[in-house]
Structure formats: structure tokens, C-alpha cells
Structure 1
Amino acid sequence: MHRIVGVKPGSVAFRHGLVEGDAVLSMGGEPLLDEIDYQALSFPGRVEMELQRTDGRRETVVLIKEEGEPLGLRFDQSMALSPRTCRNKCVFCFIDQMPPGLRESLYVKDDDWRYSLMMGNFVTLTNVSEEEFGRILRRRASPLYVSVHTTDSALRCRMMNNRFAGDLMTRLTRLRDAGIRFHCQIVVCPGCNDGEVLLKTLGELRSLAPAALSAALVPVGLTRWRQGLAELRPFDKAGARELLEGIAAFQEECRRGLGTTFAFPSDEFFCLADRPIPPEDWYEGYPQIENGVGLLRLLESQMEEAREMEEEGREGKTPLEPYTASRTLLIATGVSAAPHLERLTRRFAPPGLTVKVRAVVNHFFGETVTVAGLLTGGDLLEQLPRQLLEEIGADTLLLPGCMLRHEGDRFLDDMTLEEFTRRFPLPVKIVGPSGQDLYDALRGR
């Protein structure tokens, strides 16, 4: 039973007489477990709902509406999705490599297909019972985002330290047969699931197309906090190049046979290999952007669009005059993205502006962690001392917003943005994730 705590005025539910305090017992003859059931069962144009009214009476109401039209109901916490946690102990798990003493939320390992459907989180499907998997099939939960890593049953069990991890291809085939589509993720570990094993995995996933939509390849991330964990090694330049070259023929086959590249290495592979980022159309609409596939290309494309819009006088933004006084901005970022940002700022900085890009080494997690989003306030303060700032002549620091948690107020080491700005000798500006944000920041907007 789920209690209604709000009815939107003028909505379908409002027009059919539902009120705050009513409770929903079932929809379409089925009990409601959670938000997933509610969304699926409220989608048709005719919805039969069994209610318990505020006076205790039971009543069946039939709601007639447009297919897909929201009912306009808000429920109590009984409808909320409490995240299901991971039952694996993957050899590459980043959370297992976190130092102690950080905020609790950073240690939560979610592995919940419902969040995969609603938010695009990647899930292994190892903690999904047969009954629950049947619900996925009935609800046509599509698209899902599946952490594959390998289709070799024995190897997947070993990599995940879970004896139930080996039936993945069976389940993916059942998803395909039910008309459910899915994106795949492969965390590639050198000497483990790369090379011929990777090609076999990609080939078996391709056999499930068009249900299998894409596969993102992400290099394993290793921190300095791996005491007692399985021995793994990171990718280096040669290894990254070998991977890119090793899948090139497979990608070409997919383009010819499926009309899609299908296997998309993350930006980090191109940065490690010192290879150019592919053109925008290669990314096919960026279906794997959350895996870092195409972030750098998207940033550049958005900056190009921002410049075109400014030159045409759109968005109410008139072209700015060149800086009348010498000005120097400092951008701090991770080691991977620094060369790309240097190139972008040379292209898009307005006349009169000097931009210095500083690659900050990650001492907190270890030097093999090179992405900007895992840098800490402590590393920034340590590697951007006053003497360096004076030598550069910088007057403002730009930081990418990905260094802060979702609320925008705290770094991974729990240093608050307020503390950082108080201790840092220059004004600090946080830049949003889009190319428009960076383009505007270079112009003092």
C-alpha cells in the first residue's frame, strides 16, 4: 500500500477524484512494489487502480488518459527506491581502493537495475534473483546499462569474486528476446581481459545486436591504496596504443555490418596513447558519455558552437572587445586532459588573454589516477603555491566543477570549497561541464 501525499491540480488523477491521503493498493490488478512498477503500470491509456480511500473504503477507479501521460501523483517514502548494494568483490573495484576516513557516501557500492533504468547506472545483474529478473522482462526495462567486463564465464566469476557471475550471456540473450536493449561497459585490465579475450567478448556482445547498443572500454583505475588486493597493472602508452589498434578491425566490421562503431574506447585511452580524439560523428550521439567516451570531443564541439553563436550575436551575447589590460587565467586540471585543454584554450581564448593550463598530479589517490574529477583540494593547494602563481602572473584560477561533489561544495578529501577559496591566494571560479561554460569563463562571464 502506497499513500498519496500530493495530487497535481488539473492532472489525470485530480480529474478522476483522487485526493491526498488515498492509498494505492494495486494497478492493473498488480501490486506496486516501487517506482518502476508505478511508471510501467501507469503508462497505458486506461489504468485501473484499486484504492483505499481516506475513510477506509476500498474502491476501484478507472483512469482514462493519453498513453504515457503522467497521472500527477506524489507518494510517501514507501514508493522510494532504496539502493541495492553490490555483492561482488571485483578485482578492479575503485571503492575498495579508497583511503579510509572519507565521507560515508563515497563507500556505497550500488548495483541496482532500477537505478540503471532510471539513471543510467551500470549494473552487473549478479544480485538479481530469477523472480526479479522476470520483473525486468515483464516491465520491458529498457535500456539497461550492464557492466560486462568479459563474457568468459569462468573469468567473469574470478574477476568479480562471485560464483554466480558466469551466466551473463544467458541473461543478455533473454533481454534481447524480450525486446530489451542495453549498453555495455568493460573495465579493461591489462593481462586479464584484454587482447584476444576482449575481442571474444566484443564479438559475443555484437552477436546480440541490435539489442546490444554499444560497449564502452574503460581502462582500469588503480590507486595507491591497494594493500591486500589482487595484483593489477595500469595501462601505459604502449598498452593503450595496442588496445586501440587491436580493436580497429572489429570496429570497421561493425560499421560495415551494423552501421555503428559499437566498441567505444574512453577518452583516457586516446590520451594515454597520445592519439587524436576522434571526430564528433564517430561518437554517434555520445551514448556512453558517462563512461568518459567523447567528453573531450563534446567539449570542443560545444566551444565551436559557442563561438559561432557569439559571432552571429545569438543568445543575446554580443562579441566582447579584446582585453584592454594584460590578464592571465590559470586552469587546473588532471594529467589526462591537460594537453587537450591547452590546445582548446589556444583556439578559443579571446585577444588579450593569456591562459595557463596546469596538470595537477594526484598524490591523494596515486599518480596513475589522472582524471580531473578525482583531484582533491589538498593536491591543488600543494601544487599551486603562491610562488608559482606569481611566476605565472595569474590573477584568477578556473576549476572544473567535476572536482566537487554534486552539491558543488566539497572536494573528495572533504575540504570545502569555502575553505579552499579562503586558503588560495587568487579568486577562484568554478566552471560548469559544457563547452559553453568554458567559453564564457574565458571571457569573464
Structure 2
Amino acid sequence: MIEILSVDPGSIGAELDLEPGDCLLSINGEVVRDLLDFQLQLSEEELLLEVRKKEGELWDIELEKDAGAPMGLHFEHPEPKQCGNNCIFCFVHQLPSGMRSTLYVKDEDFRFSFLYGSYITLTNLDEADIQRIIDQHLSPLYVSVHATNDQLRSRLLGVEGPPILDLLRRLTAAGIEVHTQIVLCPGLNDGEELERTVEDLQALHPGVISLAVVPLGLTGYRQRLPTLESVSPEIARSVLEVLERYQEQLLDRCGTRFVFAADEFYLKAGIDFPPIEAYEDLGQLENGVGMVPLFRSDAAEALAEARSLESPEFSTITGESSLQELEKFCVALSKKTGVIIHLHPVRNEFFGGQVTVTGLLTGRDVAAQLRDKPLGEVLLVPDVMLKDGEDVFLDDLSLNDLEAELGVRVEKVESSPWGLLEALERHAR
């Protein structure tokens, strides 16, 4: 059962006289264990709810509604199952102290993989979990494979898990679709092992929908951790050669390129990106695959729509890896609109200088490095730098704190060309 925390006024739940403190026991005879069970049942049009009122009375409620229509009921979010792996490249193990506690949580929960697209290794599943995935058809799932050589995979994960191919075969045979990823660690799962993993996973297509290859991330805080090699330009080029060869073969054989490289490989290798069409449905976008080509496509469309504006001077910020693309767009947007835009790259000192993505910048690094820079009247902060639903950075510095430190108006904007253009238009005089 799950307890109702709040009920939206005027909602279906309110019309049924449901209240905070009531407990939902079952839907259509199926026990409701957590939020996932509840959300899956919302797809039904006819529902029989078994409810225990907060006073203890049992109610049976029959209703008809549109499939998927919200009921206005809110429940406590389930705590994620914790990851028991000890991955040699784990980013959480490389975090400095002083960040909010939730950033040190390692989750490994198939429910979150289905609901939010988070990657899991499948190492902590028991038979009941596997059967629940199959029975409730929790598809697609997002699985970190890293290597199909089980001995090597165990070394990478720091634990011995079930044979990954056997588990993937069982899930895909049951109709579960899976997106997969490899965190590439030079000298370990590249070269022949990378080719082996690509071949093994593509053999499970279409059940295995796609494979993303992303480089490991190293910070300056790897105390008492295995020594790992970062992805060099030479390694990046060799990885791209392998993946592009497979893409060509698989497109001809399967009708899909199947395997995709994270943008960082192209940036490190100094090789230009494929056209956005080569990323097909951008199914691995949240994994950093195709973000630059999508940015370029959106930038071209935004610039085509931009017009001359009378607006104040603006400034915005970016991580080092995005500087070149954003700089081109800001120059072109400034020329098209006549608005002065100051773009400031921020070095990630908090993580030791090796992490270059915008989304992992901290408020204190931004404040320290922008203190003497020209900021105009408004500083535009990309929303990718902030916690979902809150205006705080990774280190809990808020936008209001940043505004006070820099003495300039600070606004959150969507992390896209459209976000910048809309901000300029919003302030047009």
C-alpha cells in the first residue's frame, strides 16, 4: 500500500473524497507496492480502488476515466535501491566533499531506469525483480554493459554479477527493449574488447535498441582509486574509426547504425560531427550523444527567426567543452539582433580542472571567475547547471546568492539556442 500525501483541488481524487493520510491498497485487485504500480495502472480506463481511509474505514471505489488521465493524487517518491558495485571509474567515488548529500547516493534501481531513463548494471536483481520487469513490461530499460566479457565486466564493476548476455537475452525474449552503454576505459574495454561487446549486443537487436559509447570521466579527486588513463585524441580517433565502421555495416544489415559515440570523442579527436540525421531518433541524447549536432540544427533555426532587437547587454556562461559551439552562435546571434552578448567560459576548478561539461559547473567557480568580467545588465545561466526544479548549483549556491555576489541580475534560461534567443526577446525594449 502507499499513503496519499496530497490531493489536487478539483481533481478526480478530490471528487472521490480522497484525502491526505488515506492509503491506496490495490487497483483492480493488484496490490499497489509503490509509485510505479500506481502509474502503470493509470493506463486503464476502468478502475476499482481499494482504499483504507485515515480513520481506518475500507472503501471500494469504482470509476471510469480516460486512459492515462491523472487523478491528482501525490505519493511519497520511493527511495532508490542502492548500488553495491565498486566500479573503478565511478564518478561518485571521485567527488570532493562539501556537496549536497544526494549527490553521493549511488542508485541501482530498475524502477528508476524505466521511469527516468537512468542507467543500471542489473547486478542487484533477484528473481522477483526480473519477473516484475517481465510481468509489468517495464520497457525500455537503460543498461550499463561496459563489456560482454563477464570476467572483464566484473573487473570494471568491482563485483561479480550474473552473466550479462544471458540476462539480456531473457529480457529481450520477453519483449523488453533495452538501450545500452559502454563507459570506455582505455586499455581495458577498448580495442578487441570494444569490438566484441558491439558485436555481442548488436546480435540482440532489435531487443537491444541502441548502444552508446561514452568516455570515462576523471576528476582531481581519485584518492586511493585505481590508476586509469583518460581518453586521448589518439584513442578518441581509434574509437571513432571502429564505431563508424560498425555503423556502416549495421546500417546496411539492420537498417540502423545501432552504435553511437558520445560527442566528447569527436571533440577530443578534432573530427567534425556527422550530420544530425546520422543520429537517427537521438535515442541516446541524454547520454551526451548528438547534443552538438542538435545544437547546430537548433542554432540555424533560431538564427533564421531572429530579428533586430533593442535589448540591454547580456552575458552567459559555458563549460570549456561547449565554448567553441556556443561562441559561434553568440557571435551570429549578436550580429543578427544587434544585442551585445558576453560569453564567459568557466573552468571547473571544483572538480580539479579535468571536467569540462557545463552541467557540472558549480556556483562558486562561476562567481570567482566572473567577478571582474563584463556582465552587462543580465547574466543568463543555463538550466543544465541547476538542480531539477530548484535554482541551486551543485554546491548549493543559489541564483540569488550568485546575483548578490556579482551585483548583476541573474536569470535561468533553457540550455539551447532557443533559450538564449527567447531571453533576448523577453527583454526587448
- Look up the match of 2:143: 146
Tell me the distance in 1 between the aligned counterparts of 2:403 and 2:54: 53
Residue 374 in 1 paired to residue 373 in 2?
no
Tell me the distance in 2 between the aligned counterparts of 1:237 and 1:143: 33
How far is the alpha carbon of 1:380 from its aligned partner? 2.7
- Look up the match of 2:327: 342
The CA deviation string for residues 158-181 of structure 1, in whole angstroms up to 9 with x for no partner, is 1111112x4221111111111111
Tell me the distance in 1 between the aligned counterparts of 2:61 and 2:419: 49
Tell me the distance in 2 between the aligned counterparts of 1:203 and 1:249: 12
**Alignment CA distance shift 1:43-1:377 (3 Å):** closer
Residue 90 in 1 paired to residue 87 in 2?
yes
- Look up the match of 1:280: 276
Tell me the distance in 1 between the aligned counterparts of 2:46 and 2:24: 16
Matched to 1:364, the amino acid is: F
- Look up the match of 2:34: 34
Residue 217 in 1 paired to residue 213 in 2?
yes
> What SS does the corresponding residue of 1:350 show, helix, strand or coil?
helix
Match of 1:235 among 213, 216, 231: 231
How far is the alpha carbon of 1:18 from its aligned partner? 7.0
Matched to 1:320, the amino acid is: S
**Alignment CA distance shift 1:242-1:329 (3 Å):** farther
The CA deviation string for residues 66-110 of structure 1, in whole angstroms up to 9 with x for no partner, is 5x3447262554xx4221111111111111001112211111111
Tell me the distance in 1 between the aligned counterparts of 2:366 and 2:46: 57
User: For 1:23-62, what aligned pairs fall within 5 Å after superposition?
Assistant: 23-52=23-52
**Alignment CA distance shift 1:170-1:441 (3 Å):** same
**Alignment CA distance shift 1:8-1:129 (3 Å):** farther
Match of 2:156 among 150, 156, 159: 159
Match of 2:351 among 365, 375, 379: 365
Tell me the distance in 1 between the aligned counterparts of 2:335 and 2:390: 28
User: For 1:67-216, what aligned pairs fall within 5 Å after superposition?
Assistant: 68-70=67-69, 72=71, 74=73, 76-77=75-76, 80-164=77-161, 166-216=162-212
TM-score by length of 2: 0.88
**Alignment CA distance shift 1:357-1:242 (3 Å):** farther
Matched to 1:376, the amino acid is: T
Q: CA contact under 8 A between 1:7 and 1:19: conserved in structure 2?
A: no
Tell me the distance in 2 between the aligned counterparts of 1:3 and 1:104: 26
> What SS does the corresponding residue of 2:163 show, helix, strand or coil?
helix
- Look up the match of 1:315: none
**Alignment CA distance shift 1:409-1:30 (3 Å):** closer
Residue 422 in 1 paired to residue 421 in 2?
no
Residue 289 in 1 paired to residue 285 in 2?
yes
> What SS does the corresponding residue of 1:345 show, helix, strand or coil?
helix
Q: CA contact under 8 A between 2:122 and 2:143: conserved in structure 1?
A: yes
Q: CA contact under 8 A between 1:2 and 1:75: conserved in structure 2?
A: no
Tell me the distance in 1 between the aligned counterparts of 2:343 and 2:70: 50
User: For 1:388-403, what aligned pairs fall within 5 Å after superposition?
Assistant: 389=373, 397-403=379-385
> What SS does the corresponding residue of 2:327 show, helix, strand or coil?
helix
Q: CA contact under 8 A between 1:303 and 1:439: conserved in structure 2?
A: no
The CA deviation string for residues 126-155 of structure 1, in whole angstroms up to 9 with x for no partner, is 122111111111000011111111111111
For structure 1, which runs of at least 5 residues remain unmatched after alignment?
A: 311-318
Tell me the distance in 2 between the aligned counterparts of 1:418 and 1:54: 41
Tell me the distance in 1 between the aligned counterparts of 2:18 and 2:394: 44
Tell me the distance in 2 between the aligned counterparts of 1:26 and 1:421: 49
> What SS does the corresponding residue of 2:317 show, helix, strand or coil?
strand
How far is the alpha carbon of 1:243 from its aligned partner? 1.0
- Counting matched residue pairs gives 424
- Look up the match of 1:316: none
The CA deviation string for residues 261-293 of structure 1, in whole angstroms up to 9 with x for no partner, is 211111111111122232221222321121111
Q: CA contact under 8 A between 2:400 and 2:410: conserved in structure 1?
A: no
For structure 2, which runs of at least 5 residues remain unmatched after alignment?
A: none
Matched to 1:84, the amino acid is: K
Q: Percent identity?
A: 37
The CA deviation string for residues 298-357 of structure 1, in whole angstroms up to 9 with x for no partner, is 2222233234445xxxxxxxx33477xxx8654431111111112222333234445454
Matched to 1:135, the amino acid is: R
Tell me the distance in 2 between the aligned counterparts of 1:411 and 1:6: 31
User: Cα RMSD (Å) of the superposition?
Assistant: 2.9
- Look up the match of 1:314: none
Tell me the distance in 2 between the aligned counterparts of 1:329 and 1:142: 44
Tell me the distance in 2 between the aligned counterparts of 1:263 and 1:220: 17
Tell me the distance in 2 between the aligned counterparts of 1:422 and 1:61: 53
**Alignment CA distance shift 1:413-1:14 (3 Å):** closer
> What SS does the corresponding residue of 1:430 show, helix, strand or coil?
strand
Higher deviation after alignment, 401-410 or 333-342: 401-410
How far is the alpha carbon of 1:379 from its aligned partner? 2.5
User: For 1:234-273, what aligned pairs fall within 5 Å after superposition?
Assistant: 234-273=230-269
